Amino acid sequence: MGKHKQYKTATELEEKIKEYFDSCWVDKVTEHTDKDGNCTMTTVRYQDRPYTVTGLALHLNLTRQGLINYQGQKEYVDTVTRAKSMVEMYAEESLFTSKNTNGPAFSLKNNFGWKDKQELAVEGSLTVKVVRYGGADGG
């Protein structure tokens, strides 16, 4: 990390992280008027943007590597790990709720060390026959 830290305490970093996750949500307000002219407002909160590691880093005014650097420091490791776990959880849940899982799968593999694993079991035997050929003189 550079000479000075942008976030002096883990609490300061946590507040900015919370701000990032909140920024991914928006409120949609709808107005309803009944037959008597009474007006009511309904607010529905929905997620407008996915949680991403790069989005988190940019909101913190860091690069992806800068976020990793903070995670490598004892005083910030729990804070950053918890935030990245929320991003990981979002991507993992998207595997079950999204029609296209390529993006979430890519994120899980590249940001969180997930792997596609295929295990193969091979059974059988192998016979090796060694044949010696002599040179021109037969030996």
What local confidence, expressed as pLDDT, does residue 138 receive? 57
Structure tokens at 135: 């040179």
What local confidence, expressed as pLDDT, does residue 117 receive? 82
Of 24, 23, 41, residue with least CA distance to 32: 41
What local confidence, expressed as pLDDT, does residue 9 receive? 95
Rounded Cα distance, 51 and 76, in Å: 20
Show pLDDT as tens, one digit a residue, over the chain (139 residues): 455 689 999 999 999 999 999 999 999 999 999 899 899 999 999 999 999 999 999 999 999 999 999 999 999 999 999 999 999 999 999 999 989 999 999 999 988 999 988 788 889 888 888 888 876 665 5
> Residue 64: which residues within 8 A CB-CB, separation 6 or more?
53, 54, 57
Rounded Cα distance, 86 and 59, in Å: 15
> What structural domains and CATH numbers belong to the chain?
10-112 (1.10.132.80)
Of 5, 21, 26, residue with least CA distance to 84: 21
Structure tokens at 77: 């490791």
What local confidence, expressed as pLDDT, does residue 2 receive? 52
What local confidence, expressed as pLDDT, does residue 139 receive? 57
b (16+ CB within 10 A) / e for 74-90: eebeebbeebbeebbeb
